[in-house]
Amino acid sequence: MRFLLIFFLSISLVYGQKPNVILIYVDDLGYGDLGSYGSKTIKTPHMDRLAKQGLRFTQAYSTSATCTPSRYSLLTGSYAVRRKDTGIATGDASALILPGQQTIASIFSKAGYQSSAIGKWHLGLGPQGGPNWNGKITQGPLDIGFTEAFILPATGDRVPCVYVENDQVLGLQANDPIQVSYTKKIGDMPTGKENPELLRMKHSHGHDQSIVNGVGRIGFMQGGNAALWKDEDIAQRLTDRAKSFMRRNQKSPFFLYFATHDIHVPRLPHVKFLGKSGYGNRGDALLQLDDSVGQLMKTLDSLHLTQNTLVILTSDNGPVVDDGYHDQSKELLGNHQPAAHLKGGKYSSFEAGTRVPFIISWPAKVKKGQSDALVSQIDLVSSMAALVGQSVDASQAKDSENQLATWTGQSKKSRAYIIEQAGSLAIRQGDWKYISPSKGQAVNALVGIELGNNPADQLYDLSKDPSEKNNLAMENPNKAQELKSLLRALMEK
């Protein structure tokens, strides 16, 4: 105990006054989307400024190629794949993280931080059977350590299309209650399937259920008219909330989990950005995202908090161009390469599914530069706990390691391995990447992405073959077997 105390005190001494921490968790941002990661097309000056003043990681991973499992792992430090129920959650799913469970927010809270969850949640809310949209929404961010919250319950394309402020739907009127169903049509709201003439943006696949704000969604809803969001306003509303949170807490250390809706579908950026990138709505949403980041940085500057604020910018999974709406992103993609040289994309076990931009800026402590160390978002919990001198219940954050030295550039040491969850589970160790056999489809033709599923073992040498073209599993069966056994052992841990 005494040893632990001295250990944590010494960490606090090394790192000095408690820094603020902002985690900018972008939705579906690809490895090749930012200027600082080599893009020469869509301009991202504010995110590039973060990279310029901070440490840019070239080998960083989300834990999964889709949202819900990535977020679950990030917040808890335990791989979502250990559970059976952490696929892409519906908009009426019950809470995946239960009250009292240790999360990154509860750790910051123990360290005396104020914390806010702003933006996309997509981790379920409420007890079994789902949340009570018309009353107090229990089992949400406030129950797992956040001191305040302003969230979209699931995704922009899933009903209910309302904001939840702390534990209530914002702007709901008692005489117009919300009902939600993911199984059958309810109420008289038009649907994309029955009334396509009412759509202002057509769906390319899925998204043909309730029409909200002229856009077909996943799921059916009824009521809550005064509470419905306007897609074009989401980015600025979230940004305003974040700015107000920072201003209100400028004197106490804070942790801001800023989970943007951008650049997920439906991409309906504000008219200020519409048509401005020349690369369709995805490009325009990227401009909007960059603007939001710029506003947060400007707020830090004006509050004189830039020096001692640790900002992490990363993404929950890799990129997708057509994720279900005709929004000109495919037609106008031109020479923009959202995944850079990587194979696959969102949903894929290939590298583009989980290799994402990862930037850490903390001018007071982190030297600017580039790190090629292997890092994973799974280590957020333990690394941030170390930063603020808190212990971690390792039985809950089973997979999270303290990688603070690498994250802050004091060490170049890589994580021993990276686990990548998609249709098939993959593992990377050093430059070797192994993908488990899977009977799933090889290509998702609707989104145009190679998923990495193959009934046989796959083994790639990323040092020589970064785009995963040559499967070496037959040539090097021992290596394939070694990684397969390691993956199995880690999953049985």
Q: Is 208 in the site for ligand NG6 (CB under 6 A)?
A: no
114 vs 281 by CB, closer to Ca ion: 281
Judged by CB under 6 A, the chain residues 144 through 163 that form the site for ligand NG6 are: 155, 157
Amino acid, res. 346:
K
- Judged by CB under 6 A, the stretch of 201-209, 236-244, 336-344, 357-365 that binds ligand NG6 is 201-209
What φ, ψ does residue 128 adopt, rounded to 5°? Answer: -50, 135
Q: How many binding residues for ligand NG6 (CB under 6 A)?
A: 17
Q: How far is the CB of 4 from ligand NG6 (least distance, A)?
A: 38
Contact characters 10-39, ligand NG6, x per CB under 6 A:
-----------------xx-----------
DSSP H or E run through 21: strand 20-26
Beta carbons within 8 Å of 194's beta carbon, 6+ residues apart: none
How far lies 86's CA from each of 75, 90, 400, in Å?
Answer: 13, 11, 18
Beta strands in 273-344 (DSSP E): 309-315
- Tell me which residue of 442, 446, 449 sits closest to 205, measured CA to CA: 446
Q: Residues interacting with Ca ion, by CB under 5 A? A: 27-28, 67, 316-317
Exposure letters 28-45 (e unless 16+ CB within 10 A, then b): bbbbbbbbbbebebbbbe
Q: Is 318 in the site for ligand NG6 (CB under 6 A)?
A: no
Q: Is the peptide bond before 263 cis (omega within 30 degrees of 0)?
A: yes
DSSP H or E run through 211: strand 211-212
Judged by CB under 6 A, the chain residues 412 through 451 that form the site for ligand NG6 are: none
Q: Is 206 in the site for ligand NG6 (CB under 6 A)?
A: yes
155 interacts with, out of ligand NG6, Ca ion, none, CB within 5 to 8 A per kind: ligand NG6
27 vs 262 by CB, closer to Ca ion: 27
190 vs 206 by CB, closer to ligand NG6: 206
Tokens of 182: 């993911």
Contact characters 209-238, ligand NG6, x per CB under 6 A:
---------x--------------------
167 vs 323 by CB, closer to Ca ion: 323
Tokens of 156: 């922009």
Amino acid, res. 237:
R
Tokens of 226: 């005064």
157 vs 457 by CB, closer to Ca ion: 157
324 interacts with, out of Ca ion, ligand NG6, none, CB within 5 to 8 A per kind: ligand NG6
What φ, ψ does residue 175 adopt, rounded to 5°? Answer: -85, 5
- Judged by CB under 6 A, the stretch of 103-111, 200-208, 237-245, 300-308 that binds ligand NG6 is 200-208
264 vs 343 by CB, closer to ligand NG6: 264
67 vs 388 by CB, closer to Ca ion: 67
Q: Are 156 and 288 in contact (CB under 8 A)?
A: no
- Judged by CB under 6 A, the stretch of 100-108, 229-237, 316-324, 336-344 that binds ligand NG6 is 316-324
DSSP H or E run through 418: strand 418-421
Exposed/middle/buried for 174, CB within 10 Å: 0-12, 13-18, 19+? exposed
178 interacts with, out of Ca ion, ligand NG6, none, CB within 5 to 8 A per kind: none
48 vs 208 by CB, closer to ligand NG6: 208
- Tell me which residue of 347, 490, 356 sits closest to 423, measured CA to CA: 347
Using Cβ positions, the residue closest to ligand NG6 within the complex turns out to be 206
Considering only residues 18, 46, 207, 243, which one is a binding residue for ligand NG6 as defined by CB under 6 A? 207
56 vs 158 by CB, closer to ligand NG6: 158
351 interacts with, out of ligand NG6, Ca ion, none, CB within 5 to 8 A per kind: none
Tokens of 350: 């290939």
217 vs 237 by CB, closer to ligand NG6: 217
Q: Is 264 in the site for ligand NG6 (CB under 6 A)?
A: yes
Task: Give the whole-angstrom CA distance, residue 350 versus residue 342.
Answer: 8
Name residue, tokens 């500057």.
301
Count the neighbouring beta carbons within 10 Å of the beta carbon of residue 395: 8
Using Cβ positions, the residue closest to Ca ion within the complex turns out to be 67
Considering only residues 291, 323, 351, 450, which one is a binding residue for ligand NG6 as defined by CB under 6 A? 323
- Judged by CB under 6 A, the stretch of 3-11, 91-99, 199-207, 408-416 that binds ligand NG6 is 199-207
**Strand-pair category, 443-444 with 449-450:** antiparallel
Task: Give the whole-angstrom CA distance, residue 27 versus residue 156.
Answer: 11
157 interacts with, out of ligand NG6, Ca ion, none, CB within 5 to 8 A per kind: ligand NG6
207 interacts with, out of ligand NG6, Ca ion, none, CB within 5 to 8 A per kind: ligand NG6
96 vs 300 by CB, closer to Ca ion: 96
Tokens of 393: 């219940």
Q: Does residue 192 sit in helix, strand or coil? A: coil
Q: Is 88 in the site for ligand NG6 (CB under 6 A)?
A: yes
- Tell me which residue of 92, 328, 119 sits closest to 219, measured CA to CA: 92
How would DSSP label each residue in 348-378? -SSGGGTB--EEEE-TTT---EEEEEEEEGG
- Residues at the site binding ligand NG6, with contacts judged by CB under 6 A: 27-28, 66-67, 88, 122, 155, 157, 205-207, 218, 264-265, 317, 323-324
